[in-house]
A and B are shown apart, each in its own frame.
Chain A
Amino acid sequence: MLIVDLVQSIVDGLLFGATYALIGIGFTLVFGVMHKINMAYAAASVGAAYAALRLIALIGGPAWASLLIAAAAGGVFGLIIYWLCFRFIPLSNPLATLMSTVGMFLLAEEIIVHTTDGMPQNYPVVVRGILDMGEFMIRGDLVFVFVCALLAMVVLLYLLYRTKLGIATRAVSQQPVAAQLVGIRLNHINALTFIVTGMLGGFAGALIGSAVGLLSPLLVIPLTIKGLIVTVIGGLGSIPGAIIAGLLVGMAENVFQYFRGVTERDIYVMLLLFVFLVFRPGGIFSNTVKRD
């Protein structure tokens, strides 16, 4: 049944797309606050998931704990990236931080390859089981991934819109000079943004590992590209945009895979990006957070 399989693909894609949304939010939040792209973001996120996997293997513990450890490791990596790639690099030069983060991307990937001999590592099962809904089957692990990602988004939005630090973060992204004039330290908010997005990325990396069933250095480049596509489609700096775009990209990917197979699907995702760049360069909502 074509229609049943198609709906199945769409649902699976939407559920998994929540992880793309998290990665997209990470790119977009750093862009919103610093007007810079952190190219090392997805690499650090996968790295954080690896770190969690290692730690669990070393000291034991339930599989779900790897999600929290990955988030913590992601926060630490985020801070390290901020210090090495942004803090002392001239921000007025748009290429400087791009190159420093590309360098960090390559370094993170190298570290992953060298510590694992380039072999994929199995990720422990966090949730098993399948929800049987008549003609459809919904994978329990994907539902779990989706719910976790949603929870992470809710926490993030709470931080941004209901706390003083959130007000400060938005103030810096909207009007950095005025933010300084009310006594907000830009360096603190920048560092904080890297920690929070790093945690989000680590969490997303672990969720992806748990849904795919393994971690591989080969995840890094596709995840970076998907994250950037989500950021562009969602509109640079827009969090709601990144959420919608993440789900959209996850869904489109699965639909393309259903029709054209796994080897061709990314071509069509790229084509989707192309369509957006030509017809809607500002993203879905076309009102990115502006600096004037």
Chain B
Amino acid sequence: MLDVQDIVTAYGKIEALKGVSLAAAEGRITCLLGPNGAGKTTLMYSIAGVLKPRRGAIRLGGVDITGQSPSAIVARGLALVPENRLVFPQMTVAENLEAGAYQRRDAAEVAVDIERMYARFPRLKERRTQLAGTLSGGEQQMLAVARALMSRPRILLMDEPSLGLAPLIVEEIFRIVGELNKDGVTIFLVEQNVHMALKVAHHFYLMEQGRVTFSGEPGKLAEDEVIQRAYLGTSRQASSHKTG
């Protein structure tokens, strides 16, 4: 579904991504783990078209989308739930959802989808006329996910959806991730919460300092080993195990 080949993205002279290759298979949940500053968010923004990669290729369903505008990429069926949610703070919950459907021309279907979102996220229904900036962190995360879903994406990218949320809310978010995946949405997830990520992921990658250093399936590696490789800097040796 999503195929990233040797992407280099730089801020001025500093390369945040130094040749990243990875893939998210259709119908699966793929997870990208790594410490702060590894370049995970840069990668997400590069895929979504907000940042332009200097080199490399990004394919979505076989079509090259490298360097295309975010709006063209949304039109191709990719949606990103950004880090820190980035809801529209002075707009109501309902308006945020309508904004999510900006590219769609089927007003009646959009209205149906908004009701579907309310069914999936009952808290949003309760707060539909409230300004998004007044919601709690967890509610804002739900709203950001629902807003992204309003474009009816084939693949949903999520950048640290658990960031700063209470454990119960995190559980809830990951339950929803699983549900969405069962409904047929391909998911590519960036996480720092290794425990939750490995519970839902079919496949995962480790990233460090702008490079993918490990790739594997959750069952094949103990959780603490993943944590050690991802966050305690032993991944250099581990890179010989690289499978993808």
Can you name the residue of chain A whose Cβ is closest to the Cβ of B96? A171
Tell me the complex Cα distance, A78–B204, Å: 50
Q: Is the CB of B99 within 8 A of A181?
A: no
A91 close to chain B: CB less than 8 A: no
* CB–CB B79/A167 < 8 A: no
Q: Give Cα A167 to B96, complex, Å.
A: 8
Give CA–CA (A170, B86) in the complex, Å: 14
Across the interface, do A180 and B90 meet the contact criterion of CB distance under 8 Å? Answer: no
Taken together as a complex, chains A and B put the C-alpha atoms of A180 and B69 apart, in Å, by: 9
Nearest Cβ in chain A — how far from B67, in angstroms?
14
Give bound CA distance, A289 to B151, whole Å.
26
**A164-B98, A182-B99, A184-B102 known; A171 vs B74 contact (CB < 8 Å):** no
Q: Is the CB of A180 within 8 A of B88?
A: no
Contacts of A184 in B (CB 8 A): 71, 99, 102
Residues of B within 8 A of A292 (CB): 89
Give the complex CA separation of A184 and B87 in angstroms. Answer: 14
In the assembly, what is the distance between CA of A109 and CA of B100, in Å? 43
Is A174's beta carbon under 8 Å from chain B? Answer: yes
CA distance A184 to B244 in the complex (A): 35
**Across the interface, do A174 and B102 meet the contact criterion of CB distance under 8 Å?**
no
Q: Contact at A290–B88, with CB atoms within 8 Å?
A: no
For B53-96 the 0/1 string (1 means CB < 8 A from A) is: 00000000000000001110011000110100011111100010
A131 at the interface (CB under 8 A from B): no
In whole angstroms, what is the CA distance A130 to B100 when docked?
Answer: 51
Interface contact B90-A170, CB-CB below 8 Å: yes
Cβ of B91 and Cβ of A170 under 8 Å apart? yes
Determine the chain B residues whose CB is within 8 A of the CB of A175 once the complex forms.
Answer: 86-89
- Given A171-B88, A175-B87, A290-B89, also A180-B99 (CB < 8 A): no
Determine whether A260 belongs to the interface, using a CB cutoff of 8 Å to chain B.
no
B77 to chain A, nearest CB (A): 11
| Contacting pair A183 B90 (CB below 8 A) | no
Determine whether the beta carbon of B75 is less than 8 Å from that of A182: no
Question: For chain A, what secondary structure do more than half of its interface residues adopt (helix, strand, loop), or is it mixed?
Answer: helix
B82 touching A182, Cβ below 8 Å: no
Which chain A residues lie closer than 8 Å to B82 at the CB level? 177-178, 181
| Assembled-state Cα–Cα distance A8/B50 (Å) | 56
Proximity string of chain A (265-292) to chain B, C-beta cutoff 8 Å, 1 when within and 0 when not: 0000000000000000000000001101
- Is the interface on chain A under 10, 10 to 19, 20 to 34, or 35 or more residues? 10 to 19
Cβ of B147 within 8 Å of any chain A Cβ, yes or no, is yes
Give, as a whole number of angstroms, the nearest-CB distance from A278 to chain B: 27
On chain B, the residues within 8 Å of A167 by CB distance are 91, 95, 98-99, 102
Q: Tell me the nearest residue of chain A to B85, going by C-beta.
A: A178
A182: contacting residue among B69, B90, B102, CB under 8 A: B102
Which residues 91-111 of B have a CB within 8 angstroms of A? 91, 95, 98-100, 102-103
With A167-B102, A183-B151 already in contact, the answer to whether A174 and B88 are too (CB < 8 A) is yes
B24 contacts A by Cβ under 8 Å: no
CB distance from B233 to the nearest CB of A (A): 31
- Any B CB within 8 A of the CB of A168: yes
How far is the CB of B83 from the nearest CB of chain A, in Å? 10
Given contacts A180-B70, A180-B71, A182-B147, contact A164 B102 (CB under 8 A): yes
Instruction: Say whether B48 faces chain A, with CB atoms less than 8 Å apart.
Output: yes
Q: Which residue of B69, B79, B87, B99 is within 8 Å of A168 (Cβ)?
A: B99
Complex interface: chain B residues within 8 A of A182 (CB): 74, 79, 99-100, 102-103, 147-148, 150-151
In this complex, what residue of B is CB-closest to A188? B71
B144 to chain A: closest residue by CB:
A178
- C-alpha spacing A90/B145, complex, angstroms: 33
Q: How far is the CA of A289 from the CA of B48 in the complex (A)?
A: 26
A248 to chain B, nearest CB (A): 23
Min CB–CB distance A87 → chain B (angstroms)? 15
* C-alpha spacing A182/B73, complex, angstroms: 10
For A181, the chain B residues whose CB sits under 8 A away are 48, 50, 70, 74, 79-80, 82, 86, 148
Looking at B71, B75, B147, B151, the one whose CB has the most chain A CB atoms below 10 A away is: B71
Least Cβ–Cβ distance between A76 and chain B, in angstroms: 26
- 6 additional A-B pairs beyond A171-B91, A184-B102, beta carbons within 8 Å, are A164-B102, A167-B91, A174-B89, A175-B87, A177-B86, A182-B103
Query: Which chain A residues have a beta carbon within 8 Å of chain B's beta carbons?
Result: 164, 167-168, 170-171, 174-175, 177-185, 289-290, 292
Please provide the 8 A-B residue pairs with the shortest distance between their CB atoms, ordered closest to farther.
A183-B74, A178-B86, A180-B70, A183-B103, A183-B71, A174-B88, A171-B99, A185-B71
Residues of B whose CB lies within 8 Å of any CB of A are 48-50, 69-71, 74-75, 79-80, 82, 86-91, 95, 98-100, 102-103, 147-148, 150-151
- 22 CB contacts below 8 A, A to B, read A167-B95, A167-B99, A170-B90, A170-B95, A175-B87, A175-B88, A175-B89, A177-B86, A178-B147, A179-B88, A179-B99, A180-B70, A181-B48, A181-B70, A181-B79, A181-B80, A181-B82, A183-B74, A183-B75, A183-B151, A290-B89, A292-B89
